[in-house]
Amino acid sequence: MIIRFIVAGRPARDYALLIRDYEKRLSSFCRFERVEVRSEKNIPSKLKGFVVVCSQEGVQMSSREFAQFLKGKQEVSFVVGPAQGLSNSVKLRAQMVLSLSSMTLPHDMAHLVLAEQVYRAFTILKGRKYHK
């Protein structure tokens, strides 16, 4: 499986350490790629596989439901937009719009939550003890 995060900009240093830790852990479950783009206009050319855009108005799932969603997918691109959010044109390119929370999250925190939840999903699917 290929998991790709397409993110607007680089995370702040404090977030970057935590994000990279989860991204490193993912490498034991899948081929992981992070693509940083400077602006939203560069996102469409990076989209491959099943496209999931993270946005507050999307569907919410439990961690177990999210794990089942990932099961069987070959390639998934997750998009985390810039601080001002994503335009409708990018959202329309997605097969799914996913809400990480009904609360508005800073984009660095959304990136971190997504990384942790993708890692958690793999631990659920593999029966590891990480998920409680």
Q: What pairs with residue 5 in β-bridges?
A: 34, 78
What pTM, to 2 d.p., does this model score?
0.93
Instruction: Give me the pLDDT at residue 37, please.
Output: 94
Q: Please indicate, yes or no, if residue 132 is contained in any of the structural domains.
A: no
What confidence category does residue 131 fall into, taking pLDDT thresholds of 50, 70 and 90?
low
For residue 27, how many other CB atoms are within 10 A of its CB? 10
Instruction: Give me the pLDDT at residue 13, please.
Output: 86
What confidence category does residue 10 fall into, taking pLDDT thresholds of 50, 70 and 90?
confident
Domain count, the chain: 1
> Rounded to whole angstroms, how far apart are CA atoms 12 and 110?
12
Q: For residue 122, with 0-12 CB atoms within 10 Å meaning exposed, 13-18 middle and 19 or more buried, which class applies?
A: buried
Side-chain half-sphere of 95: how many Cα atoms within 13 Å?
A: 11
Instruction: Give me the pLDDT at residue 132, please.
Output: 63
Q: Residue 32's domain spans which residues?
A: 2-126
Does residue 83 have a pLDDT over 90? no
Looking at residue 45, which CATH number applies to its domain? 3.40.1280.10
